[in-house]
Amino acid sequence: MGGSAGGALAAAVSNGGGLGLVGGGRGDRDWLDRELANVAARTSKPWGVGLLAWSVGVGTVEAALEHTPAAVMFSFGDPTLLAEPVRQAGVKLIVQVTDLDEARLARDIGADLIVAQGSEAGGHGGRRATLPFVPIVVDLVAPTPVLAAGGIADGRGLAAALALGAGGALVGTRFQASSEALVSHTITTAILEGKGEETERSRVLDIARGAPWPSQYPARSLRNAFLEEWRGREDALASDFAALDAYRAAATHDDPGVVPVWASEAIDLITDIPSATELVARLVAEAEDALERARNG
């Protein structure tokens, strides 16, 4: 959700009763300052900001903390050094993990909340499936609370997360298709029309974009013509400057044949574009219904 979960989206989630997170991604300072000021102006409820541990430095974290978030979340990489200013500020520390080594590290550095992300998630992630991964992490890091992430797009997924021992869910792709998300019409349309079997984990689009993501975190997106052309030829793509220039020119014009649409395997469940506030209420109501049905057999 880096770049697409701005202040308006985070505020709408918080106003609906969730914890809205601004997707700070790689920590562009101008974008962060604008969107963090935006969320603070739109809600009096708690909100947070998410950053990529492999990309940002302590200075970016300290700058984000000046906007007084209730929580800071780190994903993908070692958050040890980044966590220190968060703890010193008395702000809740959230760490997203994709394997058990990352879960142990998050526990050991004193994370207040750990997000166990399964490979069904849209965008970047690891290789563990959500269903078996979440309860393993719950047991490993107890009593630290855990959220489930990856392939959760409705209240039934939230109910399943609770049944797995998580305290809740972190939801991404479903909120990409909300009225407050900072995404183009091209992206929204692709999400509404996409199917889970049309998603694929790959490094091709990161290489094309010049995004230096660590190789252990491939990204799940909808397949497009560019990914199809270069699948399995990542090394060749990295050195084909003509192909890279052509990609970037096409991406500038939002060409659906090249632009990445990060999407989870649960994309089939996304059929409308409500406000994020409405989505929170819908997820909770659906989860309550699902749990009641399970209770009554």
Average pLDDT estimate for 236-264:
92
Dump the DSSP string for the chain. Answer: -TTTS-HHHHHHHHHTTS-EEEE-TTT-HHHHHHHHHHHHHH-SS-EEEEEETTT--HHHHHHHHTT--SEEEEESS--HHHHHHHHHTTPEEEEEESSHHHHHHHHHTT-SEEEEE-TTSSEE--S--HHHHHHHHHHHHTTS-EEEESS--SHHHHHHHHHTT-SEEE--HHHHTSTT----HHHHHHHHH--GGGEEEESHHHHHHT----TT--EEEE--HHHHHHTT-HHHHHT-HHHHHHHHHHHHTT-TTTS--B--GGGGG------HHHHHHHHHHHHHHHHHHHHH-
Other C-beta atoms within 10 Å of 225: how many? 12
Average pLDDT estimate for 175-200:
95
How far is it, in rounded angstroms, from Cα 150 to Cα 168? 12
How far is it, in rounded angstroms, from Cα 94 to Cα 114? 6
- Residues 82 and 175 placed together within one structural domain of the fold: yes
- Residues 228 and 85 placed together within one structural domain of the fold: no
Average pLDDT estimate for 108-134:
97
- Residues 90 and 222 placed together within one structural domain of the fold: no
Chain centre to alpha carbon of residue 227:
21
Instruction: Give the pLDDT confidence score for residue 48 in this predicted structure.
Output: 98
Global pTM reads: 0.95
How far is it, in rounded angstroms, from Cα 6 to Cα 22? 5
pLDDT tier at 252, thresholds 50, 70, 90? confident
Q: What is the pLDDT of residues 57-92, one digit of tens each?
A: 999 999 999 999 999 999 999 999 999 999 999 999
- Residues 112 and 198 placed together within one structural domain of the fold: no
Residue 111 lies inside a defined structural domain of this protein: yes
Contact call for residues 205 and 284 (beta carbons, < 8 A)? no
Average pLDDT estimate for 132-151:
98
- Residues 126 and 213 placed together within one structural domain of the fold: no
Query: What total number of domains does the chain contain?
Result: 2
Q: Which amino acid is at 249?
A: A
Using alpha carbons, select from 136, 87, 88, 93 the residue that is nearest to residue 116.
136
Average pLDDT estimate for 253-276:
93
- Residues 286 and 242 placed together within one structural domain of the fold: no
Residue 116 lies inside a defined structural domain of this protein: yes
Residue 260 lies inside a defined structural domain of this protein: no
Residue 210 lies inside a defined structural domain of this protein: yes
> Using CB atoms within 10 A of its CB, is residue 63 exposed (0-12), middle (13-18) or buried (19+)?
middle
- Residues 167 and 200 placed together within one structural domain of the fold: no
Q: Which amino acid is at 146?
A: V
- Residues 134 and 197 placed together within one structural domain of the fold: no
- Residues 147 and 277 placed together within one structural domain of the fold: yes
Report the share of the chain in percent with pLDDT over 90: 94
Residue 89 lies inside a defined structural domain of this protein: yes
Domain of residue 167, CATH code: 3.20.20.70
Residue 79 lies inside a defined structural domain of this protein: yes
Range(s) of the domain holding residue 209 = 192-252
- Residues 149 and 38 placed together within one structural domain of the fold: yes
Residue 13 lies inside a defined structural domain of this protein: yes
Average pLDDT estimate for 149-164:
98
- Residues 124 and 234 placed together within one structural domain of the fold: no
pLDDT of 256 strictly over 90 = no
Residue 14 lies inside a defined structural domain of this protein: yes
- Residues 177 and 89 placed together within one structural domain of the fold: yes
